[in-house]
Amino acid sequence: MRIIKKITNGLLLIIIGIMHTLFAFSSGGFQKQILFFSESNFYKVSQGMKELPASIEHTNFEHFATFWFLYFGFFLITLGLLVHSIEKQKLALPHYFTVSYFIVVLLGCYMVPNSGITFFMLPQAIYMLISNYLKIKKQYGKLSQ
């Protein structure tokens, strides 16, 4: 039970971000594209505006997906560090953040139902919403006494 009390929403986000980034480097993920990116030291991995309009002739969708997995993983790790630092200070996260995060995750679940956003991020978002609500309720209970 002690371990569960030490697990913060920030740590869960960091773990999900690491899993996202590791998938980008894995052989079952985008290892081939990552090796291609590394040949240019990860500089200019896309042709940018030249790839528009998005079509098979113009856009390299494998590079786009690789970029998404790699950088979204980095973003989740960074967000997790921020959330963890707030929670370590025994502070509640802003309610609008937890609700917004939950809505964004729900939208992702609707758009890509059989993915990590449904299996990993949805339970984490529900946990974040409930645990933060209980923390806020507990803090306001102490203030009113």
Domain map (residue ranges) of the chain: 1-91, 92-145
Kindly list the distances between the CA atom of residue 27 and the CA atoms of 24, 119, 120, in Å, as whole numbers in the listed order.
8, 21, 21
Mean pLDDT value across the chain: 87
- Which of 42-56, 64-78, 128-142 shows the highest mean pLDDT? 64-78
| pLDDT computed for residue 54 by the predictor | 74
CB 43 within 8 A of CB 123: no
47 CB-side CA count, 13 A: 11
* Residue 42 CB partners (closer than 8 Å, separation 6+): none
pTM comes to 0.83
Mean pLDDT of 75-85: 96
